[in-house]
């Protein structure tokens, strides 16, 4: 039985939920993963307006769409980030940004993620995807000389801020899926394990698996699935392409997405360097039956052309594991 294929609405937040739901239904998607920005899923309204949660389901049901997860990437980023600056103001609700005092922003962002867990339970989904931010990402290159003690402080800060969030999630039987990603507390296999260790292996903290963030770091996505088999709470289908030419680097040269001089860039699923067959086989091995959620990002392609193409690609790649050994038919008995 194939897994449901959904569309993550984060890159479509300029459209109303109703408009996007109609398009996604026409394209053949099974559901939507609702972003907590735009008008797609507003956490404050979910907790304060009696009819709001039902209004989201009314739209989804109208177009025969399901929802398995909501996502709080933008607010989650601000829980641990240091510095907090004008870039964060641009992605936060005004009531989270407040007066812009960095520590106040972090605390309000943490409360908003807690509220998102409560809203997810009200909405009837048990996975919230998102980012965590990181106070040590700026120390990536270890110069000026940086000690492991310096990095430990960052993971201790992460634990201090996220353990109370995870307590709320646990009370409401909701899981948080970190999208392992550069600029987060976890960006590869080693740092993902370090993040889990910092939280003492909290059972409600796991991962939203997204291979596009591993490819340009030369991390094997299949090894990630194998390493964290019991922590893959959700899956994003997104692709990236390495385009190193001897002049650029994987650090992207301070160039915008879509600039052909970058050393790598996101492309529509199926058009990059992600190999989907071994990923599907690995997901089958670990028994993952959740949605495959297309996060569509390609600066060089019209999204309304690319999203249906990506859907067709996923349907052609997703297959159930075999229930019999292929050579069983050779037996004479």
For 299-315, how does the pLDDT look when each residue is reduced to its tens digit (9 = 90+)? 999 999 999 999 999 99
SS3 211: coil
Read off the DSSP letter of residue 213: H
Residue 130 has pLDDT above 90, yes or no: yes
Q: Report DSSP state, residue 80.
A: H
Query: What confidence category does residue 329 fall into, taking pLDDT thresholds of 50, 70 and 90?
Result: low
Check if the beta carbon of residue 174 is closer than 8 Å to that of residue 126.
yes
DSSP per position, 236-247:
EE-EEEE---SS
Distance CA 124, CA 110 (A): 21
Name the average pLDDT for the chain: 96
List C-alpha distances in Å: 125 to 59, 68, 180, 283, 315. 16, 6, 21, 21, 24
Question: What is the percentage of the chain residues whose pLDDT exceeds 70?
Answer: 97
Spatial CA neighbour of 118 closest among 74, 79, 72, 80: 72
Task: Give the confidence band of 156 by pLDDT, cuts at 50, 70, 90.
Answer: very high
Report the pLDDT value the prediction gives residue 235, as an integer from 0 to 100: 98
pLDDT of residue 325: 63
Indicate the angle between helix axes 73-80 and 102-123, nearest 10 degrees: 140
pLDDT at residue 326 in the model = 60
- The answer to whether the bond into 83 is cis (omega within 30° of 0) is yes
Residue 323: per-residue pLDDT: 78
Q: Is 219 left (phi over 0), alpha (psi -120 to 50) or beta?
A: beta
Question: Helices marked H in 50-177 — which ranges?
Answer: 52-62, 73-80, 86-89, 94-97, 102-123, 148-171
The pLDDT score that the predictor gives to residue 332 is 60
Lowest mean pLDDT of 110-114, 146-150, 206-210, 318-322, name the range: 318-322
CA atoms within 13 A on the CB side of 257: 10
pLDDT at 297 over 60: yes
Confidence grade of residue 65 (pLDDT, cut at 50, 70, 90)? very high
Q: Answer yes or no: CATH 3.20.20.150 is held by domain 5-330.
A: yes
Q: Is the pLDDT of residue 157 over 60?
A: yes
Over 90: is that where the pLDDT of 8 sits? yes
Q: What is the pLDDT of residues 176-209, one digit of tens each?
A: 999 999 999 999 999 999 999 999 999 999 999 9
pLDDT (0 to 100) of residue 327:
56
114-145: buried (b, 16+ CB within 10 Å) or exposed (e) per residue?
Answer: bbbbbbbbebebbbbbbbbbbbbbebeeeeee
Coil, helix or strand for 35?
strand
Residue 251: per-residue pLDDT: 95
Q: What is the pTM of this model?
A: 0.96
Instruction: Please say if the pLDDT value at position 1 is more than 60.
Output: no
């Amino acid at each position: 039985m194939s897994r449901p294929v959904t569309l993550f609405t984060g890159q479509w937040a300029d459209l109303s939920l109703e408009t996007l739901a109609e398009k996604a239904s026409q394209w053949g998607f099974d559901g939507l993963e609702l972003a907590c920005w735009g008008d797609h899923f507003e956490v404050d309204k979910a907790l304060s307006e009696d009819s709001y949660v039902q209004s989201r389901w009314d739209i989804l049901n109208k177009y025969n769409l399901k929802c398995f997860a909501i996502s709080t990437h933008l607010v989650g980023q601000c829980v641990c980030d240091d510095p907090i600056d004008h870039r964060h103001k641009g992605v936060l609700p005004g009531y989270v940004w407040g007066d812009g005092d960095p520590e106040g922003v972090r605390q309000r962002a943490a409360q908003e993620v807690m509220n998102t867990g409560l809203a997810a339970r009200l909405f009837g989904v048990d996975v919230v995807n998102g980012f965590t931010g990181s106070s040590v990402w700026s120390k990536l290159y270890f110069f000026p000389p940086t000690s492991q003690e310096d990095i430990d402080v960052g993971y201790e800060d992460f634990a201090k801020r996220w353990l109370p969030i995870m307590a709320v999630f646990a009370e409401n039987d909701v899981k948080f899926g970190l999208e392992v990603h550069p600029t987060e507390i976890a960006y590869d296999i080693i740092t993902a394990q370090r993040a889990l260790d910092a939280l003492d292996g909290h059972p409600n903290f796991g991962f939203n698996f997204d291979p596009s963030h591993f490819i340009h770091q030369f991390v094997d996505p299949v090894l990630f699935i194998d390493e964290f088999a019991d922590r893959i709470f959700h899956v994003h289908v997104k692709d990236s392409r390495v385009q190193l030419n001897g002049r650029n680097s994987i650090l992207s040269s301070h160039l915008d997405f879509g600039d052909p001089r970058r050393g790598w860039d996101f492309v529509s699923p199926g058009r990059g360097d992600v190999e989907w067959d071994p990923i599907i086989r690995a997901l089958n091995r670990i028994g993952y039956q959740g949605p495959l959620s297309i996060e569509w990002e390609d600066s060089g392609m019209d999204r309304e052309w690319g999203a249906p193409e990506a859907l067709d690609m996923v349907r052609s790649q997703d297959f159930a594991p075999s229930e019999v050994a292929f050579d069983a038919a050779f037996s004479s008995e």
